[in-house]
Chain A
Amino acid sequence: MTAADVGAFVFSVEQEALRESVRRAGAAFVEAERVREVMTSSTGHDPGLWAALGEIGVHSLLADDLTGAGIVEAQVVAEQLGRHLAGSAYVGSAVMATVLLRELGGEVAQELLERLAAGTSVATVALAEVGATGPGRWGVDQVSTVVERTAAGHVVTGHKDLVLDLPAADVVLVVGRGEDGPAVMAVEPTAAGVQAESLRTLDATRRLGRLRLERAVGTQVGRADGVAAAVSCATQAAGAVLAAEQAGGARRALEMAVEHAAVREQFGRPIGSFQAIQHRCADLLVVVESSTSVSFAAGRAIDGGHDDADLLVSMALAYCADAYLDVAAATIQVHGGMGFTWDHPAHLFLRRARSGEVLLGSSVEHRERVLDRFLRSRTGSATGTPPPL
């Protein structure tokens, strides 16, 4: 019987080692000045950090089942990156696009996976449609981008929204609808008929774009009958990893508040000695620890193939997004006037938290899914064995 069987959880020695090696590899690229530089760059993507992550094997973690790594390992990476608002396409490329390709399978996917694992390509998934509101925009059902078969191959027409890291991506996996059903097309952003619209985002540390496609040439990836499941798998994986990234950011934001309160003195003593500040920070700690717990529980549930993986991912996304917002706002408050300046990093956490809440579905939408999943999972038994984690 493992720790998990008695309902206990700790990170493994290997996971702790991964955490430490990401921390070390990223150390040179997460200083405040570097973050600001990358923020204002044309792509918002730090090639030095990307290469450093490649050197410790981070890009290939989810590429196949042979690595032995799962969502939890990807979460460990994301948690560290989230602490520093590091400009990287990790969630979009190394998780969402990678998992989508892996699930779709086939020659085209394999070739792209090799490039992603080597760190020589950055990919992103274009799923949500411009103008599509509501929870369905993260599934294949509301896809209205059209894939047509022509004499020369396939062409794609549509208008995609919320495309992560678009300025840095050299391949976009566009989810569209063909004559056989949903289809995924690999499209190059520089190809004819493709107009990448970079958005000026609230969170400059994470670039988002829209993609206008007008009969753009695409290469089909995988087969129609596997697309819905593959997309679902990819968004589930990205959701769990995003939640862990948010948990990491929230933890760092709280640390900053506590550090500041220890040194800022007013009325002859550190403001951290005032109950109002102490109590606020204590409440934030509850929320930070809970974010870590629920995000990694979602990752473990996916890796373990548990029935409640979807439920936990939605719990995690809803909880971690709201938690991150609370902590980021409180950190600004604890920093007083300094927290309100452009130069202080506190507002960057707030911006990251605010936009993160809508990236893969809002907290309200995810809570709706939590209740829905719960209602569907009920067996009606009054007692029964404790639920798996």
Chain B
Amino acid sequence: MQEPSSGTPDRRGLAPAAFRAELVEFLDTHHPGRTPGDDHAALAFQRAWQATLHDHGWVAPGWPREVGGMGLPLDLQVVYHREMAAARTPLPPNNFVGIVGPTLIAHGTDAQRDRYLRPMLRTDALWCQGFSEPGAGSDLASLTTRAVRDGDVYRVSGRKIWISKAAIADHMLALVRTGSPGSGSAGISCLVVDMAAPGVSVQPIRDMTGGAYFAEVTLDGVEVAVDHLVGRHDDGWRCARATLGHERSTSLAAAALRYQRVVGSLVRLAERRGALGSEVHRQDLARLLTEARLLELNGARVLGHVLDGSDPGPLSSVNRLQHGLFEQRLHEAALRLLGADAVLGHDEPALGTDARWVTGFLRTRASTIGAGTAEIQRSTIAQRVLGMPSDRVLP
């Protein structure tokens, strides 16, 4: 592994207040402002920001310094996420810190880490995740995209679906079947697929919002060099489960703060529409204010455990489920507040800025489907957290 870049400042030992002060100073100087609405411009804007963060040593607070991250202790990671959320900095163009990065960090070879991680952090190269298939969603272990070893390549054929930002990605971290059919999770490997390779084709999926955020990727005899295997052969299922530290709890905490602001916008919507005179709407808003606050408070308990090294227990799974449900309830309430204007489409000029609620209402149908359906989450909570007997469905 390469030595930490001499250019990356070491902020690990800073006291939280001093760390915050440095971050605030950096943001005061470098905050690029509001992300443009146009998709094309937004992507360039977000990439430029990631490059800025990287070049000043402010990217990936939970990643080890050796691979370009900040290597921060947990309490400083929390400060980092809170300040970034409060300052409303641009989001990264895709979620590489979630699974792709940690998988490579934990299971990649030195050569893979050297080749991929820094460009990933700067977003010089963009990544997507090829897990789900048309026939393998909740039951991901039944995936059938086949990778057959032939000399120094794997030949990969199959279809991956629900891949976000596939059209702009340079690489895909893919789970493929290297074991015999029916081998389940024991016959899965993890490969880095070059999206420009012959045999890779991307078909955008028009989703119910009218947009095409996701795509299907067809792999037709794609040759993937053997040195693109991440982790061991047939060990991909375990590798793809890698997460780093408590990325999720710290970033959920940031999301909770954003939601409270969003509910504030909802209250202003209610005021504009004269809805505050109605007890029904007032009760609705009070419930949402409470739920948004609960996301923060439940998150605070998770963080408390994380920081003192104890097990958050049920709270982490509870958090995830609650976030998804909340997003839906928020937008359902927003459309109730629109009253008769709920007949209007997001592209109807008369809606003005309220169009965001319409697209959000449609988009958040996916909040209880993507990244683990609410049903799977409930079964997981019941069996893994409450210790209820197996339903003979969950692996």
Contact with B along A248-265 (1 / 0, CB 8 A): 000000000010011000
Asked if B86 and A386 make an inter-chain contact with CB atoms under 8 angstroms apart, the answer reads: yes
Complex partner residue of B388 from A9, A273, A292, CB under 8 angstroms: A273
**B107 on interface, CB distance cutoff 8 Å:** no
Query: DSSP majority for the A interface?
Result: helix
Interface residues of B in 375-394 (CB under 8 A from A): 375, 377-379, 381-383, 385-393
Contact A8 B290, CB 8 Å, known A1-B15, A281-B382, A282-B381: no
B113 to chain A, nearest CB (A): 30
Interface residues of A in 236-289 (CB under 8 A from B): 258, 261-262, 269-270, 272-275, 277-279, 281-283, 285-286, 289
**A42 on interface, CB distance cutoff 8 Å:** no
**B322 on interface, CB distance cutoff 8 Å:** yes
Interface size class of B (residues with CB under 8 A): 35 or more
Contact with B along A355-367 (1 / 0, CB 8 A): 0000000001001
Asked if B388 and A289 make an inter-chain contact with CB atoms under 8 angstroms apart, the answer reads: no
Contact with A along B68-86 (1 / 0, CB 8 A): 0000000100110010011
Interface residues of B in 4-49 (CB under 8 A from A): 15-17
Complex partner residue of B322 from A7, A286, A292, CB under 8 angstroms: A286
Asked if A297 and B290 make an inter-chain contact with CB atoms under 8 angstroms apart, the answer reads: no
A13 to chain B, nearest CB (A): 10
Contact A371 B388, CB 8 Å, known A286-B318, A293-B297, A319-B294: no
**B109 on interface, CB distance cutoff 8 Å:** no
Asked if B392 and A294 make an inter-chain contact with CB atoms under 8 angstroms apart, the answer reads: no
Asked if B300 and A275 make an inter-chain contact with CB atoms under 8 angstroms apart, the answer reads: no
In the complex, A4 Cα to B289 Cα: how many Å? 21
In the complex, A382 Cα to B261 Cα: how many Å? 8
Contact with B along A289-314 (1 / 0, CB 8 A): 11011100100000000000000100
**B215 on interface, CB distance cutoff 8 Å:** no
Contact A1 B16, CB 8 Å, known A10-B304, A274-B391: yes
Asked if B388 and A278 make an inter-chain contact with CB atoms under 8 angstroms apart, the answer reads: yes
**B189 on interface, CB distance cutoff 8 Å:** no
Note all chain B residues with C-beta closer than 8 A to A294: 290, 293-294, 297
**A67 on interface, CB distance cutoff 8 Å:** no
In the complex, A275 Cα to B391 Cα: how many Å? 7
Asked if B297 and A6 make an inter-chain contact with CB atoms under 8 angstroms apart, the answer reads: no
Asked if A7 and B321 make an inter-chain contact with CB atoms under 8 angstroms apart, the answer reads: no
Minimum CB distance partner of B75 in chain A: A6
A181 to chain B, nearest CB (A): 32
Note all chain A residues with C-beta closer than 8 A to B79: 1, 6
Note all chain A residues with C-beta closer than 8 A to B315: 289
Asked if A283 and B378 make an inter-chain contact with CB atoms under 8 angstroms apart, the answer reads: yes
Contact A285 B314, CB 8 Å, known A261-B388, A368-B282, A368-B286: yes
Note all chain B residues with C-beta closer than 8 A to A293: 294, 297-298, 300-301
Note all chain B residues with C-beta closer than 8 A to A153: none
**B239 on interface, CB distance cutoff 8 Å:** no
Asked if A364 and B283 make an inter-chain contact with CB atoms under 8 angstroms apart, the answer reads: yes
Asked if A389 and B300 make an inter-chain contact with CB atoms under 8 angstroms apart, the answer reads: yes
**A383 on interface, CB distance cutoff 8 Å:** yes
**A150 on interface, CB distance cutoff 8 Å:** no
Contact with A along B353-389 (1 / 0, CB 8 A): 0000000000000000000000101110111011111
Contact A289 B314, CB 8 Å, known A283-B378, A368-B286, A374-B289: yes
Looking at A10, A289, A382, the one whose CB has the most chain B CB atoms below 10 A away is A289
In the complex, A319 Cα to B291 Cα: how many Å? 9
Note all chain A residues with C-beta closer than 8 A to B253: 7
In the complex, A261 Cα to B79 Cα: how many Å? 42
In the complex, A25 Cα to B17 Cα: how many Å? 43
Query: DSSP majority for the B interface?
Result: helix
**B121 on interface, CB distance cutoff 8 Å:** no
Contact A281 B301, CB 8 Å, known A6-B307, A367-B287, A386-B86: no
Asked if A282 and B377 make an inter-chain contact with CB atoms under 8 angstroms apart, the answer reads: yes
**B241 on interface, CB distance cutoff 8 Å:** no
Asked if B257 and A290 make an inter-chain contact with CB atoms under 8 angstroms apart, the answer reads: no
A150 to chain B, nearest CB (A): 45
Asked if A383 and B300 make an inter-chain contact with CB atoms under 8 angstroms apart, the answer reads: no
Minimum CB distance partner of A273 in chain B: B389
Note all chain A residues with C-beta closer than 8 A to B381: 282, 285-286
Note all chain B residues with C-beta closer than 8 A to A364: 283
Minimum CB distance partner of A7 in chain B: B300
Contact with A along B268-287 (1 / 0, CB 8 A): 00000000000100110111
Note all chain B residues with C-beta closer than 8 A to A9: 297, 300-301, 303-304
Note all chain A residues with C-beta closer than 8 A to B393: 275
Minimum CB distance partner of B299 in chain A: A7
In the complex, A329 Cα to B322 Cα: how many Å? 21
Asked if A386 and B308 make an inter-chain contact with CB atoms under 8 angstroms apart, the answer reads: no
**A180 on interface, CB distance cutoff 8 Å:** no
**B296 on interface, CB distance cutoff 8 Å:** yes
Asked if B16 and A6 make an inter-chain contact with CB atoms under 8 angstroms apart, the answer reads: yes
**A147 on interface, CB distance cutoff 8 Å:** no
**A190 on interface, CB distance cutoff 8 Å:** no
**A151 on interface, CB distance cutoff 8 Å:** no
In the complex, A281 Cα to B388 Cα: how many Å? 9
**A5 on interface, CB distance cutoff 8 Å:** yes
Asked if A7 and B82 make an inter-chain contact with CB atoms under 8 angstroms apart, the answer reads: yes
Minimum CB distance partner of A258 in chain B: B386
In the complex, A12 Cα to B279 Cα: how many Å? 40
Looking at B298, B308, B386, the one whose CB has the most chain A CB atoms below 10 A away is B386
Asked if B15 and A282 make an inter-chain contact with CB atoms under 8 angstroms apart, the answer reads: no
Contact A8 B300, CB 8 Å, known A262-B389, A278-B382: yes
**A99 on interface, CB distance cutoff 8 Å:** no
**B157 on interface, CB distance cutoff 8 Å:** no
**B245 on interface, CB distance cutoff 8 Å:** no
In the complex, A312 Cα to B388 Cα: how many Å? 33
Complex partner residue of A269 from B87, B285, B308, B389, CB under 8 angstroms: B389
Note all chain B residues with C-beta closer than 8 A to A286: 318, 321-322, 381
Note all chain B residues with C-beta closer than 8 A to A283: 378
Asked if A367 and B294 make an inter-chain contact with CB atoms under 8 angstroms apart, the answer reads: no
**A164 on interface, CB distance cutoff 8 Å:** no
Contact with B along A315-334 (1 / 0, CB 8 A): 10011000000000000000
Asked if A275 and B379 make an inter-chain contact with CB atoms under 8 angstroms apart, the answer reads: yes
In the complex, A293 Cα to B299 Cα: how many Å? 9
Contact with A along B300-332 (1 / 0, CB 8 A): 110111111010001100100110000000000
In the complex, A106 Cα to B310 Cα: how many Å? 46
Minimum CB distance partner of A382 in chain B: B261
**B264 on interface, CB distance cutoff 8 Å:** yes
Listed A/B pairs (20) with beta-carbon separation below 8 Å: A6-B16, A7-B299, A8-B307, A9-B300, A273-B392, A275-B393, A278-B388, A286-B322, A289-B318, A294-B290, A297-B293, A315-B289, A315-B290, A319-B294, A364-B283, A370-B286, A371-B286, A374-B267, A382-B261, A384-B86
For the complex with contacts A3-B307, A7-B300, A283-B378, 8 further pairs of A-B residues with Cβ separation under 8 Å are A3-B303, A277-B388, A293-B294, A293-B297, A318-B286, A367-B287, A368-B283, A371-B267
3 closest cross-chain pairs (CB), A and B: A278-B382, A10-B304, A367-B286
